[in-house]
Structure 1
Amino acid sequence: MPHSPMPTRESLREVRYDIRGELSRRARELEGQGRQLIRLNIGNPGAFGFRAPAHLQQAVSAHVGESDPYTHQQGLPLAREAIAAFHRSRGTPNACAERVFVGNGVSELIDISLRALLNPGEEVLLPSPDYPLWSAATILNQGRPVYYRCAPENGFLPDPDEIEKLVTPRTRALVVINPNNPTGANYPPELLGRLVEIAARHGLLLMADEIYDGILYDDAVFTPLAPLAGDVPCLSFGGLSKVWRACGWRVGWAVLSGDPLKVGDYHHAMDLLSALRLCANVPAQFAVPAALTGPETIRELTAPGGRLHASRQAVVDSCAASEHLSVVAPAGALYAFPQVVGAAAEGFDDQAFALELLETEDVLVVPGTGFNVPGSRHFRVTLLPEADVVREVFARIDRALDRHAARRGARHVA
């Protein structure tokens, strides 16, 4: 007797996550055939030989015996106190442990925060390009993503006037990803101040994804959004995954700031949703105070002479030497977002190119359309490999683009 396929949630048809999507599945098939691939699709420091700092590892191991019970749904009290103190030190208004939520990574907290906010059909302003989890979580929580443009000719920074024109009576939140994934843009305080003004005028929740706040290059300086927001409701996200290279520990946090009378109901909604999932994993939360009060370890990697700085420079130099590529030098985060230009850009399909690059050159990148950029000629690479590997990757990318440009030229001649 024939069986009909089991139906799934219809909104999943609108969700994409190319970072771990069909290209990644094809990569696993090729690896199963014995191919040696260079994977640049995920910002996963541990996969490239980075380790969480020793003092964080020691903090976890010292408290394993205390990790068996559930903790408070908002997180381990000592972790929340450390996060609140860290935010007070950089000027977040009303930062206290009661306003801190610890989650299984920032990803879980993005989902919880949008679920606590959105009614069906309400809108969230998101950057384009965005980190696609934000779009997915908006859709799956019955909201509607509305994208504001972050163009390469403007250093991937948005135009506040363009953003304000997108606001409607259905708009509930304005998301800021700073430093940005996938572009590496770092937002100046003047721009952030303009975004605060828009949120204040229209009664929006500011949602500041600041997971890369300590990963900066050259003279870039990070400006947190919450101190500028003041009484304007703001939810600031951070965690151990990137700055402290502990992705697998799944420890993220969100700090709610702004006028207590405005955010009280929202706080209770997030608390309820946090309670429904009981609590975040406990052992790794013991590393939070060690991370926020212990020695700084990321700067040696991002400063000149550091491994991340060298890999970033290798991307910039490789693109400068290529007739097919341009790039806005990343000011922060762990990624670059090169653009295909010139003859190779004619008829360019970023998904088809990424598949060809994988099949012919054993390199896995993420197409720009995966970050909600229509008609993209971009792709994202992570800066985590050693500089020599980065240079080899871009030599292979150039070979693939040479072939594409030659095919386009042959069609023109024909």
Structure 2
Amino acid sequence: MENGASTKWRFEGNKDYNYNSNTNTKTAATLTVRALLNTLLDNLNQNDTRPVIPLGHGDPSAFPCFRTTSVAVDAIVDAVRSAYYNSYSPTVGILPARRAIADYLNRHLPYKLSPDDVYLTLGCTQAIEVIVSVLARPGANILLPRPGFPYYEAHAKHSHLEVRHFDLLPEKGWEVDLDAVEALADENTLALVIINPGNPCGNVYSYQHLQKIAETARKLGIMVIADEVYAHVSFGNNPFVPMGVFGSIAPVFTLGSISKRWIVPGWRLGWIVTSDPNGIFQKLGIVDSIKDSLNISSDPATFIQGAVPQILENTKEDFFSKTLDILRETADICYDRIKEIPCITCPNKPDGSMFLMVKLKTSLLEDISDDMEFALKLSKEESVIVLPGIAVGMKNWLRVTFAIEPTALEDGLGRIKAFYNRHAKKQ
């Protein structure tokens, strides 16, 4: 019997879904990152003539050293000039793009995806919205990592899907606390989410840990939602391993995009991939639910879809290597300079993505009580933006991005050190 064939998967018998595309609905979690960063920007001292150092939001595209490859630019131009992509797109995405994404992912899988396993979305944010909405039903719950990416919680709440948080363990490289996962799960648990490489922690999970996650999911009869937006953005000791490798153990939704690896977050091209060689998603009606939800939502721009095959097939390895070299350098700068600032500590050197988490020691500060107050005063006094940890579920932590130009990063960390010296509790 194939792995997973005898497991009773929790979605069985429920082929309805609760989908609501009203993106104007405000929830606490959707406001957290964007609204907090906007609050910090609004808090800047307008008389400070120094450049603002953006350490709160992971968008390196503004910096010349992180520009996308000319292959991607040429692909967009060719797609527009061809006039082949001026029509409406099929709701699941155009076939050449879906085929190219399947082929791209197949390079690292032990089985073959087909274009029918790929669904194009308006960035990974829409992929999250669709998957969460498809799974939602009365009484159901989903397991989310803490710290994590708050849009999962936002869309879960919007779809009336209960959220339960399991901790990531900083002392173990931010691995999933699998004992906590087992303790949290019950007969109404449908799926657990992992983010690898990690946002906000900069972790990259080993093959062995991912296999344990898959085996735990199979034991519990739940699915895995693998957020791989930062796929292959790994530069430490652990190489990136796609969760889809373990799709024969437990069915996997793989969420991805071209945003981070190609440094084009504004292009808004993402995907949902069903990594499920045992066909469990099809049997449970989940595939039909994904198609139904995409039928009532917006599509990625057709000319960007048209450019995908050329982007995926023709980008040279030296472009990726250059990006990883810069991120490795800036990660080292960030990790080393943080050691010089007593009020913040980083438990692990990042191995991937574009972020790290630092613990804030408020006991060393004279007039700062928590992470939000720290971020507000830092923006006002030093024109440096960091994300309060409360936005990602970790009070009195901070998320810091190192995906900026190295000299700007040095400047920003120097300002944080000066800020600490000014606010340090007197001995």
Kindly indicate whether the alpha-carbon contact (under 8 Å) linking 2:57 and 2:401 is maintained by their aligned counterparts in 1: yes
Q: Is there any run of 5+ residues in structure 2 with no aligned partner, and where? A: 1-21
Residue number in structure 1 paired with 2:127 = 109
Percent identity of equivalent pairs:
26
For 2:54, which of 39, 45, 53 is the aligned residue?
39
CA separation in 2, counterparts of 1:11 and 1:245?
29
Compute the displacement of 1:350 (Å): 0.3
Structure 2 residue 321 is matched with structure 1 residue 299: yes
Q: CA deviation at 1:163?
A: 1.4
Q: Which residue of 1 aligns with 2:297?
A: 277
In structure 1, the residue matched to 2:334 is: 315
Q: Are the counterparts in 2 of residues 339 and 377 from structure 1 also a CA contact under 8 Å?
A: yes
Three-state SS of the structure 1 residue aligned to 2:323 is: helix
Contact 2:132 2:152 in 1 (8 A): no
Where 1:253 maps in the other structure, the secondary structure is: strand
Describe the shift of the 1:68–1:13 C-alpha distance in structure 2 as closer, same or farther (beyond 3 A).
closer
State the Cα distance separating 1:229 from its structure 2 match: 2.6
Calculate the aligned-residue CA RMSD, in Å: 2.3
1:63 aligns with 2:63: no
Could you list the runs of 5+ residues in structure 1 that have no partner in the other structure? 1-7
Q: Secondary structure at the match of 1:174?
A: strand
Q: CA deviation at 1:369?
A: 1.0
Q: Write out per-residue CA displacement over residues 96-139 of structure 1, whole angstroms, 9 at most, x where no aligned residue.
A: 11110111101001101111111134211111000111111111
Shifted more, 42-51 versus 189-198: the winner is: 42-51
Change (3 A) 1:330 1:164: same
- Is residue 380 of structure 2 the alignment partner of residue 359 of structure 1? yes
**Correspondent of 2:38 among 13, 21, 24:** 24
The answer to whether residue 104 in structure 2 is matched with residue 89 in structure 1 is: no
Which structure's residues are more often helix, by fraction?
1
Structure having greater relative contact order (Cα 8 Å, sep ≥ 6) = 2
- Amino acid paired to 2:84: E
For 1:372, give the aligned amino acid: G
Equivalent-residue separation in structure 1 for 2:101 and 2:170 (angstroms): 34
Give per-residue Cα distances to partners, 1:293-347, cap 9 Å, x unaligned: 2212222221xxx322221111011012232222111100011212224842797
Distance 1:10 1:37 in 2: 29
Shift of 1:402: 3.0
- Contact 1:60–1:283 (8 Å) recurs in 2: yes
- Could you tell me the TM-score, scaled by structure 2's length? 0.87
Distance 1:27 1:14 in 2: 19
Letter in 1 for 2:149: Y
Q: Is the 8 A contact 1:135 1:145 kept in 2?
A: yes
Shift of 1:13: 4.6
Q: Aligned to 2:164, what secondary structure does the other structure show?
A: strand
Which residue in 2 is equivalent to 1:207?
Answer: 225
Residue 3 of structure 1 corresponds to none
Q: In terms of mean alpha carbon deviation, does 349-358 or 273-282 score higher?
A: 273-282
Aligned pairs, number:
396
Identify the residue that residue 343 of structure 2 maps to in structure 1.
324
Could you tell me which of 356, 368, 390 is aligned with 1:369?
390
Per-residue deviation, residues 375-409 of structure 1 (Å, max 9, x unmatched) = x2221121122222212211221222333332xx4
Displacement of 1:34 in angstroms is 7.1
Q: 1:78 to 1:345 in 2, by over 3 A?
A: farther
